[in-house]
Amino acid sequence: KGKDTMGDLPRDPAQVIDQLSRTMQTLKDRLESREHQLRANVSYAALPNDLREMLQRRLGDLERQLLSKVAELEDEKSLLHNETSAHRQKTETALNALLDRVSELEKGNSAFKSPDEFKVSLPLRTNYLYGKIKKTLPELYAFTVCLWLRSSASPGIGTPFSYAVPGQANEIVLIEWGNNPIELLINDKVAQLPLFISDGKWHHVCITWTTRDGMWEAFQDGEKLGTGENLAPWHPIKPGGVLILGQEQDTVGGRFDATQAFVGEMSQFNIWDRVLKAEDIMNIANCSTNMPGNIIPWVDNNVDVFGGATKWPVE
């Protein structure tokens, strides 16, 4: 039958077509050469019947080989064309999808809003409107708490959040009560924070604390406004308590006081088990990075609301 001249098909369509032509021409040349040899060496009509039949079978085999090879090459060509077209179509589809996504994001289309872009609204100063975080805290030797809030309530915006454990209702509390400055309580110890957030505008607030020397920092809208020490030093935050949004707890999960209730809206309440760098806090406040809390992330199914408090998509 002779050596197969196909080899491996090149993947470039132009090279495939060129090799198809050369292979077909080689097979045709071989067939014509065999016929010329037969005619030059002996009179075909004078050959014995058995030899003539053998040559006819041989020529038939060569012809079928040629036709089979042509059909095989045509199939390979078709498969390669289909594969190339499918790959090109898949690539174009992916690129078009990316372009559409970029366009939608540039337009600020709500179709691509993150599912955690929601806010909790607490419009009244009562002792029954609140939110509850389903997850609890592990034992902590440091933390960072960040949240967005908006309030114009007076006197004082109330309690954005509180964390109570058995035996200590004021394990962690952020509160602005009456005409007092906003305060951070750790294990019922108090630090006054130089934050000013009762102007009815959205503000980003971050509080960091470490048990080492009781060091704390207070950030507003990405800027560090205050720092201090000796706030419950060497006291680890106790695990297994209850995190409440909008109310100050006098017992674990209850006994709220309407005068200490938060009035307004809040969002993106996140807690980390470490002190975040000032650069990270600035990036979060500028919305230039997405950095969910590794202990408490702001996700819809982790926040329940009660008493008429509501969850709304962020505009």
Determine, yes or no, domain membership for 290: yes
Write down which residue in 52, 74, 107 finishes a domain.
107
Q: Output 241 or 70, whichever has higher pLDDT.
A: 241
Asked whether residue 22 falls in the same domain as residue 94, the answer is yes
Distance, in Å, from the CA atom of 233 to the CA atom of 75, rounded to the nearest integer, reads 78
Distance, in Å, from the CA atom of 84 to the CA atom of 10, rounded to the nearest integer, reads 13
Distance, in Å, from the CA atom of 258 to the CA atom of 307, rounded to the nearest integer, reads 13
* CATH number reported for the structural domain that contains residue 133 in this entry: 2.60.120.200
Distance, in Å, from the CA atom of 285 to the CA atom of 276, rounded to the nearest integer, reads 13
Instruction: Give how many domains the chain has, as a whole number.
Output: 2
Asked whether residue 247 falls in the same domain as residue 134, the answer is yes
Q: In the chain, what is the straight-line distance between the N-terminal and C-terminal CA atoms, in Å?
A: 76
**pLDDT tens-digit series, residues 196-243:** 998 999 999 999 999 999 999 999 999 999 999 999 999 999 999 999
What single string gives the DSSP state of each residue in 108-148? T-GGG--TT-EEEEE-S--SS-EEEESS----BSEEEEEEE
Distance, in Å, from the CA atom of 70 to the CA atom of 163, rounded to the nearest integer, reads 79
Distance, in Å, from the CA atom of 212 to the CA atom of 233, rounded to the nearest integer, reads 6
Determine, yes or no, domain membership for 260: yes
Asked whether residue 164 falls in the same domain as residue 244, the answer is yes
Determine, yes or no, domain membership for 274: yes
Determine, yes or no, domain membership for 5: no
Give the mean model confidence (pLDDT) for residues 269-288.
Answer: 94
Distance, in Å, from the CA atom of 123 to the CA atom of 102, rounded to the nearest integer, reads 36
Determine, yes or no, domain membership for 251: yes
Distance, in Å, from the CA atom of 148 to the CA atom of 132, rounded to the nearest integer, reads 16
Determine, yes or no, domain membership for 47: yes
Asked whether residue 237 falls in the same domain as residue 89, the answer is no
**pLDDT tens-digit series, residues 90-147:** 666 666 666 665 555 555 444 434 445 899 999 989 999 999 999 999 999 999 999 9
Domain that holds residue 142: 118-313
What Rg value do the Cα atoms of the chain yield, rounded?
39
Asked whether residue 89 falls in the same domain as residue 123, the answer is no
Asked whether residue 89 falls in the same domain as residue 230, the answer is no
As a whole number, the mean pLDDT across the chain is: 82
Write down which residue in 81, 107, 133 finishes a domain.
107
Write down which residue in 107, 141, 159 finishes a domain.
107
Give the mean model confidence (pLDDT) for residues 184-189.
Answer: 96
Asked whether residue 148 falls in the same domain as residue 271, the answer is yes
Asked whether residue 173 falls in the same domain as residue 60, the answer is no
Question: Which pair of structure tokens corresponds to residue 276?
Answer: 């975040």
Determine, yes or no, domain membership for 219: yes
Determine, yes or no, domain membership for 294: yes
User: What is residue 64's predicted lDDT score, i.e. its pLDDT?
Assistant: 77
Asked whether residue 148 falls in the same domain as residue 273, the answer is yes
Asked whether residue 150 falls in the same domain as residue 83, the answer is no
pTM for the full model?
Answer: 0.63
Asked whether residue 71 falls in the same domain as residue 148, the answer is no
Question: Which pair of structure tokens corresponds to residue 75?
Answer: 């199939």
Q: How many residues does the chain have?
A: 315
**pLDDT tens-digit series, residues 22-51:** 666 676 676 667 656 655 554 445 556 666
Asked whether residue 62 falls in the same domain as residue 192, the answer is no
